[in-house]
Amino acid sequence: MDVNSNSSSSIVRLNIGGKKFCTTIDTLTQREPDSMLAAMFSGRHTLCQDSSDKGYVFVDRDGKHFRHILNWLRDGAVPTLTDAEYSELLREAEYFQLLGLMDGIKASINNRKEEEEMATELTRIDIIKCIQSERVRFRGINLSGLDLSKLDLSFVDFSYACLKNVFFSRANLQCAKFKDVDAEASIFHNATLRECDFTGANLRGALLAGANLQSANLQDACLIGCSFCGADMRSAHLQTADLTNANLEGAILEGANLKGAKLTNANLRGANLQRAYLRDVNLRDTALEGARLDGANLQGTIR
C-alpha cells in the first residue's frame, strides 16, 4: 500500500490478526510519532495488504486490545482493565513501541496497587475480636467506611489512623486516643467521647451531634463544618481549633477553653458558654443569638 498519495487525514483500514479497524493516518502518527505505527504509515514503507480483502493493511498481531491502542492514539485514554488484561495490552504497546501508552499502563497498575494498599485492613468482626484484649491499638491503620456503632471502644488508641466515613454512632469511646487521625465525615452521633484526645485530628464535616465530649481534648483539631448540635462539651479543650462553619447550636460549652479558636460563621445559637474561656477569639461573624455567656472570659474578643 502506498500512503504517499494519501492526505494525512485519509482513512486507513487495518486487519489486526483478523479483527478489522478503521482509522486515519493522523491518528496513527501524531500522538506517538516515534512508534512503529507512525513509521509504518509515514509513507517510507510499502505495507502488506490483505490479499483476501483488498484495501486492508494486515498486521500479524492479536487484535483483542487494538481498540484500546486506537483510543489511546485518538485521545490519550488509558482504559480500566484487569491486571491480566493490562499485561496483554502492555505487550502490544511494547511491540508497537508506544512509549506513552506503556507509561500510562504502568501508572494505572501502580495506582491500583496503592488503592488496594489503602483499602480497609480490618472488618467489624476483626475489631470486635481485638477489643476483647486488654490493650488495643489501631495506630495508623486504615478503617475507612467501617460500621463501628454501639461498640465498647473505650481506651482504644486510634492515633494516626485513617477513619474517614467511619460510623461510630452510640459507641463508647471514653478516653480513646484520636491524635492526628483523619476522620473526615465520620459519624459520632450520640457517642461517648469523654476525655478523648483529638489533638491535631482532621474532623472536617464530621457529625458529633448529641455526643458527650466532656473534658475532651480537641486542641488544634480541624473541625470545619462539623455538627455539634446539642453536644455536651463541658470543660473541653478547643484551643486554636478551627470551628469555621461548625454548627454548635444548643451545645453545652460550659467551662470550655476556646482560646484562639476560629469561629468564623460558626453557629452558637442557644449554646451554653458559661464560664467558657474565649480570650482573643474573633466572634464578629459568629451567630450567638440566645447563647449564655455568663462568667465567660471575653478579654480581647472581637465582637
Strand 19-24 relative to strand 11-16, pairing:
antiparallel
Determine the Cα–Cα distance for residues 291 and 162; give it in Å rounded to an integer. Answer: 35
CATH no. for 11-116: 3.30.710.10
What number of residues does the chain have?
303
Determine the Cα–Cα distance for residues 219 and 225; give it in Å rounded to an integer. Answer: 16
> Where are the alpha helices (H) located in the chain, listed in sequence order?
25-29, 36-40, 66-75, 83-95, 99-117, 124-130
The model's pTM is: 0.60
Determine the Cα–Cα distance for residues 130 and 80; give it in Å rounded to an integer. Answer: 37
Task: Report the DSSP beta bridge partners of residue 140.
Answer: none
Determine the Cα–Cα distance for residues 234 and 185; give it in Å rounded to an integer. Answer: 23
pLDDT value, residue 189: 95
pLDDT in tens, 101-115: 999 999 988 888 776
**Nearest to 186, CA basis, from 240, 154, 151, 146:** 146
Cα dihedral 57, 60, 62, 65 sign: negative
In the predicted model, what is the mean pLDDT of the chain?
Answer: 89
Checking if the pLDDT of 244 tops 90, the result is: yes
pLDDT in tens, 94-152: 999 999 999 999 998 888 877 666 556 678 887 877 776 656 788 898 999 999 999 99
